[in-house]
Chains A and B, each alone.
Chain A
């Protein structure tokens, strides 16, 4: 029997209801609703009636400001009531806490669930109600409207059988049929598998085929990056080989690269720091809240699964969406509206990162029309670890295989293979099970436990259980020695999983550890202290096979050599296709003020403060360059600096750069832009490139000939630029499925994204800079060489609907010198403030510095150029900076051999006055710019400040 308890606020306020109402007005334009009130619904199963009251009073209900009901009628007088719950089988993290509280109170409770009721007051048509449900309340992938109360909350079932697949006799067509929508392997790969089993003299079990599909999936094995390439008729080295060649650019700093779950570089005092960038685009496209959560969870575990377990100390989040105001009719079938995605992705990052206690202190949001089918959701994570434990652990024969953390369920099955596929209108239906809701506290528990185990030296090797689940984790750890796995030992969320599902499930918040038998008792005891479930489920047995059983049933017996090296190298062909772009420049007589205001509210330029403030960026107490600073604490900084060891002055600097709009025009130069932008941000806060490393994330359309050629160029750009900058790439990831296929077969390529992250060390956090102007009457210098000819892809060209087939591309060699001059100016303390010029150009950078300083500025563009003032103000040349110094003399000294322009000074009156020689180009109030700049995100997030 299930009891239902409903709890609602007694006060005449309900922020959750108000927020929904505001969202209904904003997105649907429905204004007939007067108010919305919400109630929490708890369902409790297997609790004695006399315990129900006690449990409610002690746990569920607080009479000070809440009312309670045991019936259905807590929200009275509503015109409509809608209740939304997680679907059965989707794990509700709150259920575990309810069970714990009951157990602490000595109350028996077999199952629990919670959900929300929304009471709508005011007239609402059936059609509009359905719109509210579909668009704002329910994500059908994981949620459902409760029409009538469930009979039971317990999920059970009988395990499916092990199925033998008669693969040996299959024709090519049948092999393709088997692969489609499930395995995502091509015919050649299917044939290799077929041959293996022909030789073995038997047909494969379902689990074996699934393991091979997972291990050989693009997501896990990066076939394209390892492929032998012919680009425009020329033989070229595999992409990954080229990227790895950058390690020689600065080998001294590298501790571990491209072998572990994250890249590791040297820090100070016997410590090392690590960094990783991940994307979670496919799940976020169909369930943005859960997708973003599990994206964060996965990348935190990548850090935790580095060496013998690194501590996660920072995170960054970078998103690309279609413009937030895109009309609904332009959104492809099966896809979600961009403002909904943005709000939900932000909520997912917030609820996960904040709960785990990882400061999210770096990020950005970009908009482009062609992200309408699939967003880019990238998460970065950074960690610290004693250097002697920073290298990937080596498993020894006889080591036990231990799983810790969450239990295994049917959730997340086929995540690895699904992520490798293009998206279609039916993706949501087919792949719903690939998405799940994260449980941040489970993650925090495993982090606590792993750090305690590592401190005691108990971990031999560790990896996270991400894409591919145990299959991937155990398969990789045991690739040299072989592994013997007992599936029946694995703790399950509910019964009914087939053996292959247990092995392939991607249930979140699990880690796999290799523990020497002599350490197992202490390991289990420490896990218990931290309430982390730990189970031995196999051993690395030295037999060089992956042998898996479920009770007495054989499920898998594969040769490790074949599993990891049997995949044939792909041979791929790329052909450069030049997209003809007609040049259309903006008119010369623009209204400069009007354009400037528009630039400030462009999605790529506007203030992201409402997002930043929902992320905890000061947890751990380490943040020493916060995302926002200045007189009103709302001017953005170019990067994040944290002090991971509170007692020491050392800093970890984190920045990033990307510009998808440019990659469409020119993949090489667009990629150079991304790298220069990332390193410009890095030096703008005081970082030194010789103490830093690069991380790449390629989020690319499916590599057909054209996209492969573009990818090839982007990789060349990375390698060439890294060489000139003297920096190594130490970690990277590719996701080559940014393609959407309309029901009619038409293909939409999502803009190729190259996200470059930079992280590194600085000896003293006191020698760093923020972007806000510090003084009145100080000198403003433009450092660098603005490209006044090539403005293709800029925010300015976007808002004026202009086009150009070339993007800004400064000479990398000169840029390197410019970058190091910025580093020295900050180190000596001569640079009072520094801001990197990026989207929105000099105009946006100057405005942000004035907003931060609470002041104005006088600027003469003639010092830079006497040509078009709009091009001077709005070009987005990377490796150009605005720097505030005491005097013109100081500027001349600091930047003696570096291209620089002394353009003006800071003033008290909060206006920006722009002249070109004797001609006034424009005068604009800083407050007007600020309002325009803050407006878009304030509206989307209903932010009142």
Chain B
């Protein structure tokens, strides 16, 4: 059976179509679910193996990015989400979805309702749309093992993506192997400077998982590089579309678990 992915919709979410396509392409059965349908219980989270929160500007990213949707999820869907996470179902948040997960507290430490890190305004002070490189690291996200070491060309499209945590939390994130990808330079080393590190993220952190390894969040958009022609330089040759790792990894895992 194809694992069912709940692609969450809310006012201002706008990367849902390409996320849907990516799940489909890698053998998943995605469905669009509006947050109002979860609130009214006309659709239930427990009927899905994967919860995916797409990119966009949920509620305009008013106050700070992802805040209003995070508040809504924690206020109305706390129990559904808790149960979903306890059952070791998979959660992924991309860009705005990552901001939402961090602001619900699900990332980095699976503390629903308490924030331990933030995604602050880009150090450059502005929204950035460009392709950068990330490298997949060994992390708690076990289903990403096959991809560890890969360097991937990937799109970033955000104004508030600078991963930031206080020293203690940052150490815990690093020591618990929660970082699953970082921005890297031409040599594959963590990128310190703009634009390789497009937002000034601490330790060049681009994506993290939680201690269970079942919740993923990342600022770059893997769903926007699953076809070669989505690469800005596909006409030059020698480039690949490798954003599928997230979806392939999750779907394979969901199939066996």
A contact residues vs B (CB 8 Å cutoff):
13, 15-16, 18-19, 58-60, 62, 64-65, 93-94, 96-98, 100-101, 104-106, 350, 354-357, 439-441, 444-445, 448, 529-531, 612-624, 626, 628-631, 633, 643, 646-647, 765-766, 768-770, 772, 774, 941-945
Please tell me if the beta carbons of A646 and B165 are within 8 angstroms of each other in the complex. no
CA distance A550 to B128 in the complex (A): 48
Please tell me if the beta carbons of A105 and B232 are within 8 angstroms of each other in the complex. no
Contact (A613, B129) CB under 8 Å given A64-B166, A93-B62, A643-B229:
yes
Shortest Cβ distance from residue A317 to the other chain B in the assembled complex, whole angstroms: 14
Whose C-beta in chain B lies nearest to the C-beta of A63?
B115
Quick one: which of B12, B121, B131, B235 contacts A355, CB cutoff 8 A? B12
* The 9 nearest A-B residue pairs measured at CB: A357-B14, A621-B18, A15-B125, A97-B62, A624-B229, A355-B57, A441-B60, A94-B62, A626-B232
CA distance A769 to B36 in the complex (A): 44
> What residues on A are CB-neighbors of B236 within 8 Å?
629-631, 772, 774
Quick one: which of B12, B34, B75, B157 contacts A616, CB cutoff 8 A? B157
Whose C-beta in chain B lies nearest to the C-beta of A443?
B12
Question: Is residue B144 within 8 Å, beta carbon to beta carbon, of the partner chain?
Answer: no
How many B residues are at the interface, by size bracket? 35 or more
Given contacts A101-B72, A770-B235, A772-B236, 11 further A-B contacts (CB under 8 A): A19-B125, A64-B117, A97-B68, A104-B71, A105-B71, A355-B57, A357-B15, A614-B128, A621-B224, A630-B236, A633-B131
Please tell me if the beta carbons of A445 and B11 are within 8 angstroms of each other in the complex. yes
Question: Is residue B172 within 8 Å, beta carbon to beta carbon, of the partner chain?
Answer: no
A-B contact pairs, 20 of them (CB 8 A): A62-B64, A64-B117, A93-B60, A101-B72, A104-B71, A104-B76, A439-B60, A440-B60, A529-B36, A530-B34, A616-B127, A619-B14, A619-B55, A621-B15, A621-B221, A621-B230, A624-B229, A624-B234, A646-B17, A944-B124
CA distance A104 to B59 in the complex (A): 13
> What residues on B are CB-neighbors of A766 within 8 Å?
229
Question: Is residue B122 within 8 Å, beta carbon to beta carbon, of the partner chain?
Answer: yes
Contact (A62, B71) CB under 8 Å given A15-B125, A445-B11, A621-B230:
no
> What residues on B are CB-neighbors of A529 within 8 Å?
34, 36-37
Question: Is residue B9 within 8 Å, beta carbon to beta carbon, of the partner chain?
Answer: yes
Question: Is residue B223 within 8 Å, beta carbon to beta carbon, of the partner chain?
Answer: yes
Please tell me if the beta carbons of B118 and A62 are within 8 angstroms of each other in the complex. yes
What's the dominant secondary structure at chain B's contact region?
Answer: mixed
Please tell me if the beta carbons of A945 and B194 are within 8 angstroms of each other in the complex. yes
Contact (A629, B12) CB under 8 Å given A104-B71, A440-B57:
no
Contact (A104, B230) CB under 8 Å given A355-B57, A621-B21:
no
CA distance A101 to B71 in the complex (A): 7
Please tell me if the beta carbons of B125 and A448 are within 8 angstroms of each other in the complex. no
Whose C-beta in chain A lies nearest to the C-beta of B55?
A619
Shortest Cβ distance from residue A19 to the other chain B in the assembled complex, whole angstroms: 5
Please tell me if the beta carbons of A617 and B129 are within 8 angstroms of each other in the complex. yes
Shortest Cβ distance from residue A37 to the other chain B in the assembled complex, whole angstroms: 14
> What residues on A are CB-neighbors of B56 within 8 Å?
357
Whose C-beta in chain B lies nearest to the C-beta of A615?
B129
> What residues on B are CB-neighbors of A941 within 8 Å?
126
Please tell me if the beta carbons of A104 and B75 are within 8 angstroms of each other in the complex. yes
CA distance A620 to B16 in the complex (A): 8
Shortest Cβ distance from residue B114 to the other chain A in the assembled complex, whole angstroms: 11
Please tell me if the beta carbons of A614 and B17 are within 8 angstroms of each other in the complex. no
Please tell me if the beta carbons of B60 and A101 are within 8 angstroms of each other in the complex. no
CA distance A445 to B62 in the complex (A): 15
B contact residues vs A (CB 8 Å cutoff):
9, 11-12, 14-15, 17-18, 21, 34, 36-37, 55-57, 59-64, 67-68, 71-72, 75-76, 103, 115-118, 120-131, 155, 157, 164-166, 194-195, 221, 223-224, 226-227, 229-230, 232-237
CA distance A765 to B228 in the complex (A): 11
CA distance A68 to B165 in the complex (A): 18
Whose C-beta in chain B lies nearest to the C-beta of A358?
B14
Please tell me if the beta carbons of B18 and A101 are within 8 angstroms of each other in the complex. no
Shortest Cβ distance from residue A86 to the other chain B in the assembled complex, whole angstroms: 14
> What residues on A are CB-neighbors of B233 within 8 Å?
629-631, 633
Shortest Cβ distance from residue B56 to the other chain A in the assembled complex, whole angstroms: 6
Please tell me if the beta carbons of B12 and A444 are within 8 angstroms of each other in the complex. yes
Whose C-beta in chain B lies nearest to the C-beta of A354?
B127
CA distance A799 to B120 in the complex (A): 43
Please tell me if the beta carbons of B232 and A629 are within 8 angstroms of each other in the complex. yes
CA distance A59 to B21 in the complex (A): 33
Contact (A619, B15) CB under 8 Å given A15-B121, A944-B124:
yes
Please tell me if the beta carbons of B232 and A628 are within 8 angstroms of each other in the complex. yes
Please tell me if the beta carbons of A100 and B59 are within 8 angstroms of each other in the complex. yes
Please tell me if the beta carbons of B157 and A441 are within 8 angstroms of each other in the complex. no
Please tell me if the beta carbons of A620 and B18 are within 8 angstroms of each other in the complex. yes
CA distance A766 to B120 in the complex (A): 38
CA distance A334 to B15 in the complex (A): 41
Shortest Cβ distance from residue A257 to the other chain B in the assembled complex, whole angstroms: 28
Shortest Cβ distance from residue B159 to the other chain A in the assembled complex, whole angstroms: 8
Shortest Cβ distance from residue B15 to the other chain A in the assembled complex, whole angstroms: 6
> What residues on A are CB-neighbors of B131 within 8 Å?
633
> What residues on B are CB-neighbors of A631 within 8 Å?
233, 236
Please tell me if the beta carbons of B194 and A944 are within 8 angstroms of each other in the complex. yes
> What residues on A are CB-neighbors of B76 within 8 Å?
104
Please tell me if the beta carbons of B18 and A629 are within 8 angstroms of each other in the complex. no
Shortest Cβ distance from residue B245 to the other chain A in the assembled complex, whole angstroms: 16
CA distance A350 to B21 in the complex (A): 26
> What residues on A are CB-neighbors of B62 within 8 Å?
93-94, 96-98
> What residues on B are CB-neighbors of A100 within 8 Å?
59, 68, 72
Please tell me if the beta carbons of B17 and A621 are within 8 angstroms of each other in the complex. yes
Please tell me if the beta carbons of B164 and A64 are within 8 angstroms of each other in the complex. yes
Contact (A614, B120) CB under 8 Å given A64-B164, A355-B57, A620-B18:
no
Please tell me if the beta carbons of B60 and A94 are within 8 angstroms of each other in the complex. yes
Shortest Cβ distance from residue A231 to the other chain B in the assembled complex, whole angstroms: 47
CA distance A13 to B57 in the complex (A): 24
Quick one: which of A619, A629, A633 contacts B235, CB cutoff 8 A? A629
CA distance A866 to B76 in the complex (A): 77
Contact (A448, B9) CB under 8 Å given A65-B164, A618-B221:
yes
Quick one: which of A439, A620, A765 contacts B17, CB cutoff 8 A? A620
Please tell me if the beta carbons of A531 and B36 are within 8 angstroms of each other in the complex. yes
> What residues on B are CB-neighbors of A616 within 8 Å?
127, 129, 157
CA distance A671 to B179 in the complex (A): 56
Shortest Cβ distance from residue B234 to the other chain A in the assembled complex, whole angstroms: 8
Quick one: which of B15, B125, B223 contacts A18, CB cutoff 8 A? B125
> What residues on B are CB-neighbors of A612 within 8 Å?
129
> What residues on B are CB-neighbors of A94 within 8 Å?
60, 62-63
CA distance A445 to B227 in the complex (A): 29
Please tell me if the beta carbons of B235 and A774 are within 8 angstroms of each other in the complex. yes
Shortest Cβ distance from residue B218 to the other chain A in the assembled complex, whole angstroms: 16
> What residues on A are CB-neighbors of B128 within 8 Å?
613-614
CA distance A19 to B126 in the complex (A): 10
CA distance A768 to B235 in the complex (A): 9
Please tell me if the beta carbons of B21 and A646 are within 8 angstroms of each other in the complex. yes
> What residues on B are CB-neighbors of A613 within 8 Å?
127-130
Whose C-beta in chain A lies nearest to the C-beta of B116?
A64
Please tell me if the beta carbons of B123 and A15 are within 8 angstroms of each other in the complex. yes
Shortest Cβ distance from residue A280 to the other chain B in the assembled complex, whole angstroms: 21
Please tell me if the beta carbons of A65 and B230 are within 8 angstroms of each other in the complex. no
CA distance A355 to B12 in the complex (A): 7
> What residues on B are CB-neighbors of A439 within 8 Å?
60
> What residues on B are CB-neighbors of A18 within 8 Å?
125
Please tell me if the beta carbons of B11 and A101 are within 8 angstroms of each other in the complex. no
CA distance A626 to B229 in the complex (A): 10
CA distance A622 to B224 in the complex (A): 8
Contact (A59, B125) CB under 8 Å given A64-B117, A620-B17, A620-B18:
no
Whose C-beta in chain A lies nearest to the C-beta of B40?
A529
> What residues on B are CB-neighbors of A444 within 8 Å?
11-12, 14, 57
> What residues on B are CB-neighbors of A98 within 8 Å?
62-63
Shortest Cβ distance from residue B236 to the other chain A in the assembled complex, whole angstroms: 6
> What residues on A are CB-neighbors of B72 within 8 Å?
100-101, 104
> What residues on A are CB-neighbors of B166 within 8 Å?
64
